[in-house]
């Protein structure tokens, strides 16, 4: 197993640590959980950079890397729902989009087609991660300014989630219809 794949596995292993720390009944557990989430999020960029720069791209990495990202984000959103910081319906839409596009990519892969991440997908990911971090940090530092940046970023992430999902489907609809007779 190469270094990039080990870093991806580390991200997966950080998910239960993040969840446990989030629920610990200790002062500042949310800040500690946010730190773990930030480090785990950083490993996504790191493993991708290492894989590309050292030509370490593998089928395992192509499968595990996006899965690790989705598990990390979904876990964070679910604990934020349980803490009453995020409406469940928002998380349902976000997770449903992830399932739909992952399924879409599986169908494409079975036909030998790779669907690359779009600018909308990248913007969606950045906005989701930013929203999650702000929500974990209780909107720090914007709470001191009276700016609900965490809520703004959450709904921006929701809008970008919907747009990017629609963009993937519209641009690649032919993949779904190619087996129709």
- The pLDDT profile of the chain, 181 residues, written as one tens digit per residue, is 899 999 999 999 999 999 999 999 999 999 999 999 999 999 989 998 999 999 998 888 888 888 999 999 999 999 999 999 999 999 999 999 999 998 888 888 788 887 878 899 999 999 999 999 999 999 999 999 999 999 999 999 999 999 999 999 898 888 877 655 4
- pTM, two decimal places: 0.92
Same domain for 2 and 76: yes
Could you tell me which residues come within 8 angstroms of residue 45 by beta carbon, excluding any fewer than 6 positions away? none
Q: Which helix (H) or strand (E) holds 124?
A: helix 119-136
CA separation, residue 1 to residues 51, 106, 156 (Å)? 12, 23, 37
- Best CA proximity match to 51, nearest among 8, 14, 15, 13: 8
Same domain for 55 and 114: no
Domain span including residue 76: 1-83
- Best CA proximity match to 157, nearest among 97, 99, 82: 97
Same domain for 120 and 77: no
Same domain for 101 and 74: no
Same domain for 68 and 105: no
């Amino acid at each position: 197993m190469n270094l990039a794949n080990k870093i991806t596995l580390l991200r997966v292993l950080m998910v239960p640590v993040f969840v446990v720390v989030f629920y610990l009944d200790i002062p500042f557990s949310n800040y500690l959980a946010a730190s773990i989430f930030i480090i785990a999020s950083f490993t996504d960029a790191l493993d991708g950079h290492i894989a590309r720069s050292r030509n370490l791209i593998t089928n395992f990495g192509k499968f595990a890397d996006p899965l690790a990202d989705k598990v990390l984000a979904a876990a964070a959103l679910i604990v934020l729902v349980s803490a009453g910081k995020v409406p469940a319906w928002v998380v349902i839409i976000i997770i449903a989009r992830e399932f739909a596009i992952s399924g879409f990519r599986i169908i494409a892969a079975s036909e030998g087609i790779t669907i690359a991440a779009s600018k909308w997908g990248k913007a969606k990911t950045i906005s989701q991660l930013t929203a999650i971090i702000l929500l974990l940090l209780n909107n720090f530092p914007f709470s001191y300014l009276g700016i609900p940046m965490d809520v703004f970023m959450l709904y921006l992430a929701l809008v970008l989630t919907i747009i990017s999902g629609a963009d993937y489907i519209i641009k690649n609809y032919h993949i779904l219809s190619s087996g129709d007779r």
